[in-house]
Amino acid sequence: MIYEIVEEYASLPIIPAGSLEIVTESADETRRFGYRLGQLLTIGDVICLSGDLGAGKTTFASGVGQGWNNIARLPSPTYTIMNVYKRETDGQMLHHVDAYRLETPDALWSTGIDDIFDANGSVLIEWPERIESVLPDNRLWVDIQFDDDDDDRRLFILTAHGDTSALLDAFRRAIYGF
């Protein structure tokens, strides 16, 4: 009887297609994880960072900024809503948006978000669930969760939406080598 149950589950994927799960053990590991993703960003990529306060969104974003162009520090734009960084080597832009203080998704339009989705660069959004209705279909969603047993450990669940499966696959190869 137990064998039948195991056999039933053996054919089911543990992680759904178009998703990737990774556990980090420290803030430094979270930053290095972001660094690997930052190295892969190209024009038009939209990365959505979701998670509770203190989950590690800004730490991960800082790593993305370092990997994208060795930005020493990528502070969260909580009060400015958006920070823009220009890469000297090719002029590509990295738009870092924090939607935490936006009262409605429509409030984002006053920031010029429509221009940045079409601009020469990538977009990194913290608190994307607050503006999900105005986000483009093509985006990589990164959900960051606390581990109840370890204050430093985080679970990252990355899910490709639209045409971002190639970015997720490249990221998987960058992390695991296959």
Token pair belonging to 88: 């000297």
pLDDT band at 112 (very low <50, low <70, confident <90, very high): low
Q: What is the pLDDT of residues 11-58, one digit of tens each?
A: 656 677 788 999 999 999 999 999 999 999 999 999 999 999 989 999
Query: What is the predicted pLDDT for the residue at 129?
Result: 93
Say if residue 75's pLDDT is above 50: yes
Q: Give this prediction's pTM.
A: 0.85
Say if residue 101's pLDDT is above 90: no
Domains defined for the chain, CATH in brackets: 26-176 (3.40.50.300)
Rounded to whole angstroms, the Cα distance separating 15 from 60 reads: 22
Query: What is the predicted pLDDT for the residue at 1?
Result: 46
End-to-end CA distance of the chain: 36
**Element at 69 (helix H, strand E):** helix 57-69
104 vs 148, more confident: 148
Say if residue 3's pLDDT is above 60: no
pLDDT band at 100 (very low <50, low <70, confident <90, very high): confident
pLDDT band at 77 (very low <50, low <70, confident <90, very high): confident
Query: What is the predicted pLDDT for the residue at 167?
Result: 94
pLDDT band at 110 (very low <50, low <70, confident <90, very high): low
**Judging by DSSP bridges, how do beta strands 82-86 and 93-98 pair with one another?**
antiparallel
Q: What is the pLDDT of residues 127-171, one digit of tens each?
A: 999 888 888 999 999 999 988 788 889 999 999 999 999 999 999
Rounded to whole angstroms, the Cα distance separating 49 from 129 reads: 9
pLDDT band at 177 (very low <50, low <70, confident <90, very high): confident
Secondary structure letter of residue 56 according to DSSP: S
